Amino acid sequence: MKLYYSDVLAPRKVCALIKYLKLPLEFAYLQLDKGEHKKPDYLALNPNGKVPTLVDGDKVLWEADAILCYLAKHGGSDLWPGDDRQADIVSWFSWNSQHFIQSGGALYFEFVIKSRFNIGPPDTAAVEKAKKSFRSQAKILNNHLKNRKWLVGEQLSVADFSVAVTLPYAAKAEMPLNEFPEVRRWHDQLSALESWLDPFPQRA
C-alpha cells in the first residue's frame, strides 16, 4: 500500500492511525506549495487534487475518513468495529465534516496555514466567527463526552482520530479548548499516544 500525503490536517489523522497500528506502508510526500497535488499523474488518482490518497493494488481511496476505516479493518484492529457502533462512528464523521472541523479548520487556516505559506495575517472577523462557532460545537462535544472515555463509549475508534484532528493545533490557532474540560481531557488521552503527537513519517 502507498499513501500520498502532506503535513496538513486531513493526512494527519491517517498518518497517526498508520503509526499507531504500525502498518507497513510506502509514503509519497506531495509539496503543496509546488502544486504537486495538481499534476496530471496525481489527478488521475485523485481528481479532487487533495491529500491524502491511498493506493492498495487496484484499489484507490481519496477521502481521509474512508481511508481510516479501510486501514483499521485491513490492519486487523478493532478501531472500525464490525457491529452497530459503525453507525455511531459514521455519525461523528458526518458531524465533524459539517461542523467541528469547519470552525477548527478555519482557525487552523488563519493562524497556521497563512503563516506557513506567507498568505498574510489572520483575518480578525473570520477568527471571531470561527471562535464563536467552535464554542457552540465544542459545547455539544463536551456534553457528549461526559461519562464517556472516548467518542464511542469506552473504546478508542477511528472516530476519535477523525474528530480530534484540529486539536493538536489548538494553542497556535487560538482555539478556546480549555473552556471545555471534557474535550480537553479527551484530547489529552489522545496526546498520550506517540502516534498522535508525532504522526508524520520521517522524510529524507
In the chain the domains, ranked by start, together with CATH numbers, are 2-74 (3.40.30.10), 85-196 (1.20.1050.10)
Q: What is the mean pLDDT of residues 155-165?
A: 98
Instruction: Pick left, alpha or beta for residue 128 (phi over 0 → left; psi -120 to 50 → alpha; otherwise beta).
Output: alpha
User: For residue 168, is the peptide bond before it cis, meaning its omega torsion is within 30 degrees of 0?
Assistant: no
Instruction: Pick left, alpha or beta for residue 74 (phi over 0 → left; psi -120 to 50 → alpha; otherwise beta).
Output: alpha
**How far is the C-alpha of 128 from the C-alpha of 48, rounded, in Å?**
30
Residue 171 Cα distances to 34, 91, 117, 148, angstroms: 28, 27, 19, 24
Q: Compute CA 45 distance to the chain's CA centroid, rounded to the nearest angstrom.
A: 21
Residue 35 reports pLDDT greater than 90? yes
Cβ atoms < 10 Å from Cβ of 14: 29
What's residue 34's pLDDT? 94
Q: What is the pLDDT of residues 71-124, one digit of tens each?
A: 999 999 999 999 999 999 999 999 999 999 999 999 999 999 999 999 999 999
Q: pTM score, two decimals?
A: 0.95
Closest Cα to residue 101, out of 12, 7, 195?
12
Q: What is the mean pLDDT of residues 56-64?
A: 97
Write the single-letter amino acid at 137: Q
The answer to whether 54 and 61 have CB atoms below 8 angstroms apart is yes
**Could you give the percent of the chain with pLDDT greater than 70?**
100
Band of residue 24 on the pLDDT scale cut at 50, 70, 90: very high
| Phi, psi of 38, rounded to the nearest 5 degrees | -110, 5
Write the single-letter amino acid at 61: L
Mean confidence (pLDDT) of the chain = 96
Q: What is the pLDDT of residues 168-188, one digit of tens each?
A: 999 999 999 999 999 999 999
What's residue 153's pLDDT? 81
Residue 203 reports pLDDT greater than 90? no
